Amino acid sequence: MSRQRKVLMLQGSYNPSIHKGIAQAARAFNWHLDISLMRSSRLPKHWEGDGIICNLNQEERFANFIRRNPLPCVDTSIWRSDLKMPRVSTSNSRIGQLAARHFIEQGHRNFAWYAFHKTPWGELRFEAFREVLGQSGLEAVRLDRGLTQNTEHIRRQLRQLPRPTAIFTQNDFDAAWLLNRCLDEGWQVPDDFAILGVDNNPLICQLQPIPLSSVSKDSAIIGYSGCRLLQRLMEGKPVSNKIHYIEPERVIVRASTETLAIADPLVRKAMQYMNDNLRHSFGVEQLAAHCGTHRLQLEKQFKNALRTTAHQKLIELRIKKAESLLLTTRDSVEQIANLTGFCHAPHLTRVFKNHFGLPPHKYRRAHATPVQAFF
């Protein structure tokens, strides 16, 4: 029987979801997971074991501990790029892209970014957010200059923004803080300010006066994947000292961004009908009739308002709903087809494969996570 490896979990910044993934991996790899330093304010000079899985922050004491203990080590953060080791991180650029596309799809034309504290991953999210907006000739105002934690300073900046403005925040904590500042002033969310966070923390997002939309990312798989790399290192196998990226999941839409920011009343009415009736099979002719116009006029106004056609937008909404059901339910492809207006599985499969490059059942399998809920 092989010797049980002893692995230290060192958390400069504690993330319960990352801990969950680490714990699952420790069970899978039969590690002795040492958590003795998690609540210690003083770190020993040396530690005896086989490897370290860490989530470093900017504190030098954690970096110095890693330097003093030249063991196989993997980091689940990107704070300390000066330390050469493999890292696992969510794709922060992809998070920014998802946020920008979510707001653009809702018809927003005014945008802002807010971060309570400046972080490396926040900057990556903002840069990708700004880049996607720029591709459509749009810009974002930075609200994180100067006194970012001063309530009156932020209120003054918000007063200067046009309405409506879509605000992307660094994480759910920042989104909740900003939401409450808006409500204190009597501003309407999402009608005046649509607010989007990151992490999809249910203890934050679902318990706000206005539930928060958020970009969902699986932090547990970050912890699990970091441990998988550490296991390879401890086995003497090569692992690149680079960042190994985990894709975020999707935007979870709640009340804080639910309103369509579309000036054209005809297009807004059509979009509302689409969202409310996705499970029913209908085409653009029926949609135009419901809106009291004809197809050519509807398509023309869609092009002007959203830079796409009504037909393309309808297919996009159906596909996004189908993707969400694939990843969050155990419904069969046939059931999902019926719930998204595709009528039957072959139609959904054909359209889905054209869009994602994989048929639904393979897409579901490819996006499955090895981290199971066990707490």
Tens digit of pLDDT per residue, the chain (375 long)?
578 999 999 988 888 999 999 999 999 999 999 998 877 677 888 899 999 999 998 889 999 999 999 999 999 999 998 899 999 999 999 999 999 999 998 889 999 999 998 899 999 999 999 999 999 999 999 998 766 678 888 999 999 999 999 999 999 999 999 999 999 999 999 999 999 999 999 999 999 999 999 999 989 999 999 999 999 999 999 999 999 999 998 899 999 998 777 778 899 899 889 988 999 999 999 999 999 999 999 999 999 888 889 999 999 999 988 988 888 788 999 999 999 999 899 999 999 999 999 999 999 888 765 543 333
Query: Phi/psi class of residue 264: alpha, beta or left (left: φ > 0; alpha: ψ in -120 to 50)?
Result: beta
pLDDT at 249: 87
| b/e map 158-187, b = 16+ CB within 10 Å | beebeebbbbbbbbbbbbbbbbebbeeeeb
pTM of the entire predicted model: 0.78
Residue 132's SS3 state is helix
Residues 228 and 277 in one domain: no
- Residue 72 shares a structural domain with residue 104: no
Same domain, 209 and 194: yes
Please report whether residue 375 resides in a domain: no
Residue that terminates a domain, selected from 257, 282, 306? 257
- The structural domain count of the chain equals 3
Sheet order of strands, 73-75 included: 32-34, 6-11, 51-55, 73-75, 87-90, 243-246
Write out the residue range of the structural domain in which residue 97 sits: 92-216+251-257
Among 257, 273, 308, give the residue marking a domain's end. 257
Q: What is the H or E stretch that residue 187 is in?
A: none
Domain membership flag for residue 373:
no
> Rounded to an integer, what distance in angstroms lies between the CA atom of residue 194 and that of residue 258?
8
Q: Are residues 118 and 13 in the same domain?
A: no
Do residues 303 and 337 share a domain?
yes
Judgement on whether residues 40 and 86 belong to the same structural domain of the protein: yes
d(CA 82, CA 71): 17
Whether residue 283 lies inside any domain: the answer is yes
My answer on whether 200 and 300 are in the same domain is no
Do 99 and 186 lie in a common domain? yes
Q: Could you tell me the CATH number of the domain that includes residue 148?
A: 3.40.50.2300
Structure tokens at 166: 């879509």
139 and 244 housed in the same domain: no
